Amino acid sequence: MEHSVFDRTSTDDKVIGNGLYNLIIGITLLWGFAINYLMVSNIDRQSIASINPWLFFGGYFISCFAGIYLFQKSDHPLVSFIGYNLVVVPFGLIINLVVSQYQPDLVVEALRITTLVTLGMMVLGTLFPAFFARIAGALTIALLLVIVVELIELFFFKTHHGILDWIVVLIFCGYIGYDWGRANAIPKTVDNAIDSAAALYMDIINLFLRILRILGNRR
């Protein structure tokens, strides 16, 4: 076990080339998205909605935190990949519940925008890693603040302000740039590629869900 992935400054594992490293990140991301697509296509929304909420969210958080622990702490690619999938599957259930509320053309539009924004932020993360590193603390504080505000709105006022979705989009844009910059600053190993992809996956999915919500509200 080592420090979390982005704290790694040295390694005893085999270092690979930039092209292979980025390819593994891409393939790992595509694997997660493919699993999510299959879940959305083959699991009935009602079967998920029928699960006891306490059981559903309890299982969701346990699986996610276990997965994050595995891929953050392990230096073995297979263990990290298992951890990644423990995050992908519960995220897929949430995606299923959300996507089923929107028309397919709207989902495709959200996917297209998310892809373009993600690629753009990766380019910026490559060009300006120091900038994203400086704003990382502010991103975390902003995200926590938005979560608290959203919970208060939901449980006490039964409402939701659309501006919060835009704020979350900006936050996760920042996180994509930040995590991509960090991914390219650590030793380029197979395990680090998988771990970096796992972090980027969570950024991208959260970005997609918020963009979909914004587009849905516009309709």
Ordered by start, the domain boundaries in the chain are 14-218
The predicted pLDDT at position 14 comes to: 87
Residue 2: band (very low, low, confident or very high) from pLDDT cuts 50, 70, 90: very low
- The Cβ of residue 194 has, within 10 Å, a number of other Cβ atoms equal to 25
Distance CA 166, CA 213 (A): 10
Model confidence at 84: pLDDT above 50: yes
Distance CA 158, CA 203 (A): 27
Kindly report the pTM of this predicted structure.
0.90
The predicted pLDDT at position 42 comes to: 93
Model confidence pLDDT, tens digit, residues 15-49 = 899 999 999 999 999 999 999 999 999 999 899 98
Model confidence pLDDT, tens digit, residues 115-125 = 999 999 999 99
Q: Are 167 and 139 in contact (CB under 8 A)?
A: no
Model confidence pLDDT, tens digit, residues 160-197 = 777 888 999 999 999 999 999 999 999 999 999 999 99
Residue 12: band (very low, low, confident or very high) from pLDDT cuts 50, 70, 90: confident
Q: Are 81 and 194 in contact (CB under 8 A)?
A: yes
Sign of the four-CA dihedral 205, 195, 92, 112: positive
Q: Torsions phi, psi of 189, nearest 5? A: -120, 165
Average pLDDT, the chain: 91
Model confidence at 10: pLDDT above 90: no
